[in-house]
Amino acid sequence: MAEITAALVKELREKTGAGMMDCKKALAETQGDLEGAVDWLRKKGLAAAAKKSGRVAAEGLVAVATAGTAGAVVEVNAETDFVARNDKFQAFSLKAAELVLSGSGDVEGLKGTAYPDAGRTVQEELTTLIATIGENMNIRRSAKLSVPAGVVVSYVHSAIAPGLGKIGVLVALESTGDTAKLNELGKQVAMHIAAARPDALDIADVDTSALERERNVLAEQARASGKPENIVEKMLEGRIRKYYEEVVLLEQTYVIDGETKVRKVVENAAKDVGAPVKVTGFVRFALGEGIEKAESDFAAEVAAAAGQK
């Protein structure tokens, strides 16, 4: 059983918005298991169904690169936001994305790749950059998408320079239609992905464990209504459909018009593009997503600097 600390209660409150006493009780009921406590609160109707977006806590940049039918995205972390404004760090991040694009797409392969005109690997170049800038850095993750025909389109939200920002998106559209029209469609779908944060492309891609967990929570909520079991089943079906509409890209409501399903938007685009269009994949990287940064006690830091205890 995990120790139920004030920090754990605080984290549960931040995740769920539930009251302190309810959070303490939930943690006690689940032997200190944080995710179990989230579910416990949701079953009791005391917490909203929060998406697992993770807390954005790390600094650095997300960089993208595309070339027709392929695209790549990479996240390079640093200790402070100041480094993200550094020209050398920006150049390294962009080059890393280009190397992912021309390589296999995985981080370990990227680290061992020769860095252009440097006589060393990407990892060795990063080590040199760390020594130059004086701050720890890390290539956290990378991804690559490609299609046999069509386009892979990128979008960077709130870009600080071309191809660089805090949220980077790739979307792959397979089609033999007009490339310019495909790029236009891809850009809009990528913007939707940046805003709507889907977890899966279609229903078949939904993580089975996540779905089962959601089903259990929703079933308990439905049964709490006191309705007969046959009504509960219908309620559950409706709530699962709603869950799909929240986490599945093709089932989401298109943020551009606020009413059409993304699936229908893609289908309708075939007429304008001149050929059927299929979304074959997407990637969304938000800087620092899922990384927890230790909170600092500023007063304690000042006292320590002054030689006080």
DSSP labels, the chain: -----HHHHHHHHHHH---HHHHHHHHHHTTT-HHHHHHHHHHTT-S-----------EEEEEEEEETTEEEEEEEEESSGGGGG-HHHHHHHHHHHHHHHHS-S-HHHHHTSEETTTTEEHHHHHHHHHHHHTS-EEEEEEEEEE-SSEEEEEEEET-SBTTEESEEEEEEEE-SS-HHHHHHHHHHHHHHHHHH--SBSSGGGS-HHHHHHHHHHHHHHHHTTT--HHHHHHHHHHHHHHHHHHHBGGGSBPTTTSSSBHHHHHHHHHHHHTS--EEEEEEEEETTTTPPPPPP-HHHHHHHHTT--
Backbone angles phi, psi at 282, to 5 degrees: -155, 160
Is the separation of the CB atoms in 97 and 73 below 8 Å? yes
Do 41 and 22 touch, CB atoms closer than 8 A? yes
Please give the pLDDT value at position 51: 43
Question: Band of the pLDDT at 202, cuts 50, 70, 90?
Answer: very high
pLDDT reported for residue 17:
72
Residue type, 118: A
In whole angstroms, give the CA distance from residue 171 to residue 130: 32
- pLDDT beyond 90 at 227: no
Report the pLDDT averaged over residues 110-122: 94
Q: Is 0.85 surpassed by the pTM of this model?
A: no
Q: What is the pLDDT of residue 296?
A: 46
| Mean pLDDT across the chain | 87
Most confident of the ranges 26-40, 165-179, 281-295: 165-179
Structure confidence at residue 91 (pLDDT): 97
Q: Which residue has the higher pLDDT, 20 or 162?
A: 162
Residue 292: its pLDDT value, please?
A: 56
Give 89 or 42, the one with higher predicted confidence: 89
Question: How is 11-45 classified by DSSP, letter by letter?
Answer: HHHHHH---HHHHHHHHHHTTT-HHHHHHHHHHTT
pLDDT, average across residues 86-113: 95
Task: Tell me what percent of the residues of the chain surpass a pLDDT of 70.
Answer: 90
pLDDT of residue 158: 87
The pLDDT value given to residue 164: 98
pLDDT of amino acid 298? 43
Predicted local confidence at residue 47, as pLDDT: 67
Query: How confident is the model over 141-156, as a mean pLDDT?
Result: 97
Higher local confidence (pLDDT), 309 or 72: 72
Q: What is the pLDDT of residue 49?
A: 44
Measured CA to CA, the distance from residue 277 to residue 288 in angstroms comes to 32
Question: Buried b / exposed e across 84-123, counting CB within 10 Å, b at 16+?
Answer: bebeebbebbbbbbbbbbebebebeebbebebeeeeeebb
Mean pLDDT, residues 273-295 taken together: 86
